[in-house]
Amino acid sequence: MAEEVKTTCFEGNGVKRFQVFLQLSEEHKVLLPCLLHNILPEEFKRIGLDKSSLDVLGVGSGGGEMDVQILTLLQSTFPAVPITTDIVEGSAELTDNFKALIAKTTNLQKIPFAWHLMTSQNYEKQSKAKGDMKKFDFIHMIQMIYFVDDFGDTIKFYHSLLKNNGMLMIVIDSTHSGWDILWKTYKKELAVDAITEWRASAEVIACLKSQGLKYEEHVIPNPFDITECFDPSSKTGGLLLDFFTLKANFHQSFTPEIRAGILDLLRSKCSTEKDGKVIFNNNLSCILVYA
């Protein structure tokens, strides 16, 4: 489907950079136990109480690694209740990866999936144009709120799609995390393409308060080793720098002064050094927004 807004950065080499980041940070491995054991079980019991069916919406679900685990938990919590799932994802490559993962996950093959290969903004436009908007019991937006133009309107729209007792889950980088420090310090150089305005947990919470929405925040620490970023000969380090800055080639995309400044910031303000390793602050915030 044709895109009317800026294209996704998660195609081709962009997917490769993303996968290097996930491998090194183990972000999904850190997130999943917190979500599946500490946060979602009780929330799902509350959401699904006395429901004859459950409808789930994933926005920016990528390759579906998180979705399949979340859906498996929901399915095991309510084994007799039919579940439907809608997925909004702008990357054709990641959507194909998601579909392949579903094909290998036997328990999810009974769940009907509706695939919306488009950005969140286009999904919002199309939903409003139809007038008859589908409502959901659980909506999740994991690491995607950076890529919308007006995140306040985006939150307001998706919150309006919640059914009774429903919940919107937003996962985003925490304020004062390494990402937050890097992108706020170098916003002029970095916030020019896929992300045009940086926001972290504090901006989202301020927005929720301004809209009078009830929410709860869970901070999830996720430090990881970025020492290879400081080895100019490291291919992995180069790909990680590309992902940090969302540039096709970090070493060619900036002036020597900006490159040096970013590397110094990553080492001195975004990380701590331990046993000769540079450990990046990759703290995450899981924000639960209630209907």
Instruction: Inform me whether the pLDDT recorded for 15 exceeds 90.
Output: no
Q: What is the pLDDT of residues 162-181, one digit of tens each?
A: 999 999 999 999 999 999 99
Instruction: Inform me whether the pLDDT recorded for 66 exceeds 80.
Output: yes
Find where tokens 């001195």 sit. Answer: 268
pLDDT band per the 50, 70, 90 thresholds, residue 132: confident
Q: What is the pLDDT of residue 56?
A: 98
Q: pLDDT above 70 covers what percent of the chain?
A: 95
**Upper half-sphere CA count for residue 208 (Cβ side, 13 Å):** 21
Q: What is the pLDDT of residue 3?
A: 36
Count of all residues that appear for the chain in the document: 291
The answer to whether 65 touches 94, Cβ cutoff 8 Å, is no
CA dist 200 and 146 (Å) reads 8
Q: What is the pLDDT of residues 181-192, one digit of tens each?
A: 999 999 999 988
Domain count, the chain: 1
Instruction: Inform me whether the pLDDT recorded for 1 exceeds 60.
Output: no
206 or 21: which leads in pLDDT: 206
Q: What is the pLDDT of residue 9?
A: 57
pTM of the full predicted structure?
0.91
**Does 235 reside within a domain?**
no
Q: What is the pLDDT of residues 25-65, one digit of tens each?
A: 998 889 999 999 999 999 999 999 999 999 999 999 989 99
Q: Which residue range forms the structural domain that includes residue 168?
A: 14-223+281-290
Q: What is the pLDDT of residue 5?
A: 39
Q: What is the pLDDT of residues 209-260, one digit of tens each?
A: 999 999 999 999 999 999 999 999 999 999 999 999 999 889 899 999 999 9
Strands 54-59 and 83-89: parallel
Instruction: Inform me whether the pLDDT recorded for 161 exceeds 60.
Output: yes
**Does 250 reside within a domain?**
no
Share the mean pLDDT of the chain: 92
CA dist 143 and 146 (Å) reads 7
- CATH of residue 206's domain is 3.40.50.150
CA 68 to mean position of chain CA atoms: 15
